[in-house]
A and B are shown apart, each in its own frame.
Chain A
């Protein structure tokens, strides 16, 4: 089984390579380049050309890519064309913000959804179940950026409880984390519910009940334990997607995270920054998914067997 995971880890490298190649190639199609961004409105053609010569922007894609990879192997991700600061350092400066937002949002979602999911599974068919199902459906259908705006209107502008954007204190974290959490709550509640339902109807639960185990104990000890497995997968996937897709939330709340950094760098044609950030982000997300799979494999004996077969 370990061989299988080692293989997965090994495959990460060519995937990263592929990602970096893709970025270089597609950014080559972007109109304009860093010279246009960095030098002001008044820059003459010679100034632009001089800048391009100095930074090697005129070299063909392959040459620039080779240069980049060579430096990368030395551990150097280069410096931003726009700010001149180290790419890796800048990314690491912004990463905690995105992580904080993602984990807080996820944490809120977990605390709320799992209990609710369990309850709705137990009380299937009741009015409570139906109401909660409708609510989760609404939550899933709401676009994140709209929800953010609504929260700003309600809690920031009208009530004045929270700031409209930026970061720096707990108060700044509430609205963005809530926005992120709602969609995850909806998804997680449904997953918990369906997973619990599947498990509750399983034979081993009926066996346990038949043996005299109380309903409560059966639920919490046996059912939940097994239902948790797909839930963990979903948590992992959602966490991964919020690390990568935090752009919208960060835009609405001006949250200084990694998503906004990448977007700004794209518009400024800051190729080293974009490449570095995307490689790092995908590395983190891919590792997270791998971790989820490993946990999943350890926890579920059926899957464990499957992996043992695979390797």
Chain B
């Protein structure tokens, strides 16, 4: 057991060492840390009621200027302020959704892969059913049925990814479960659940982690997409996708309203994609093991 612990510590620092070598990974990290810092600082600079949703009808629909870097919207609210404030929802829901889908997917996938037989069949058929329905339709159905609370939105965004995570985990677990150290553990008499979590998962988890980091961007776009069609975060709370949706009315003549929220989404997703690339590059040698 002691040996194992030592091995794990060096695993993490090994990964970090590899990560630092990846240019895209570091660039992504810089971008995301920058975004997080901006949101964090913005939380203290801005007051929700006056700055974020406070209206100033006289100043509405003003093009970007020195006073309002990104212009104002139809209510006279400063767009830059709203973008900075709105970032928290996209990031929080995006990250939570990926965490949720990863955890649920890993649990189901490992049971399916480890036990096989009837358990596997049932789990995989359910995965098929949920994968057959297009992810966005699933999200729409969930939100329409259960409302648009933050919790429900997180579920709606995560649900499309669960089958895929289940599949990957199962494949990974299946590869690992026949390996020697698992047999060794069984020989010692370790309990099944313990075997799954301690031995199988620890080694099978790498592809899941890599895919998860790559999925964050998709989740952020997912919540933006739901808000874009009106089934996400509700007004007047700023959310990047919702801001794009209201900008559609003003595309002609006020295109800046559509430009900046979308740019925010793109830069954030880019950051996470770069991080994902970096994670993949740094964990690749481990995979090939």
Q: Are A and B interaction partners?
A: yes
A115 beta carbon closer than 8 Å to chain B = no
Q: Is the interface of A mostly helix, strand, loop or mixed?
A: helix
A96 beta carbon closer than 8 Å to chain B = no
Closest to A29 in B: B145
**Residues on A with beta carbons closer than 8 Å to the beta carbon of B221:** 143-144
Cross-interface CB contact of B273 among A141, A145, A146, A241, cutoff 8 Å: A141
Of the candidate stretches B73-81, B168-176, B244-252, the one touching chain A is: B244-252
B162 beta carbon closer than 8 Å to chain A = no
A145 touches B225 (CB 8 A): yes
Q: Most A CB atoms within 10 A — which of B129, B140, B251, B267?
A: B129
A150 beta carbon closer than 8 Å to chain B = yes
**Residues on A with beta carbons closer than 8 Å to the beta carbon of B183:** none
> Once bound together, how far apart are the Cα atoms of A18 and B142, in whole Å?
16
B92 beta carbon closer than 8 Å to chain A = no
**Residues on B with beta carbons closer than 8 Å to the beta carbon of A262:** 137
Contact residues of A between 131 and 188, Cβ < 8 Å to B: 137-138, 140-146, 149-150, 152-153, 157
How many of chain A's residues have a CB under 8 angstroms from any CB in B? 41
A141 touches B269 (CB 8 A): yes
B141 beta carbon closer than 8 Å to chain A = yes
A197 beta carbon closer than 8 Å to chain B = no
Shortest distance from the beta carbon of A250 to any chain B beta carbon, whole Å = 11
> Once bound together, how far apart are the Cα atoms of A23 and B142, in whole Å?
10
Given A152-B251, A153-B251, also A282-B133 (CB < 8 A): yes
A278 touches B146 (CB 8 A): no
Shortest distance from the beta carbon of A143 to any chain B beta carbon, whole Å = 5
Shortest distance from the beta carbon of A193 to any chain B beta carbon, whole Å = 13
Cross-interface CB contact of B274 among A137, A247, A282, A285, cutoff 8 Å: A137
A2 beta carbon closer than 8 Å to chain B = no
Given A15-B132, A153-B251, also A146-B244 (CB < 8 A): yes
Which residues in B have some Cβ–Cβ distance to A below 8 Å? Answer: 24, 125-126, 128-130, 132-137, 140-142, 144-146, 217, 221, 224-225, 228-229, 241, 244, 247-248, 251-252, 255, 258-259, 261-262, 265-267, 269-270, 273-274
Beyond A266-B140, A266-B141, A281-B134, 4 additional pairs, beta carbon < 8 A: A18-B128, A137-B270, A140-B269, A143-B225
**Can you sample 16 A-B contacts with CB below 8 Å?**
A15-B128, A19-B129, A19-B132, A22-B133, A137-B270, A137-B274, A141-B267, A143-B221, A143-B262, A146-B262, A149-B247, A244-B136, A251-B229, A263-B229, A278-B137, A281-B134
Shortest 7 CB-CB contacts between residues of A and residues of B:
A244-B134, A146-B262, A29-B145, A18-B129, A282-B132, A141-B270, A141-B269
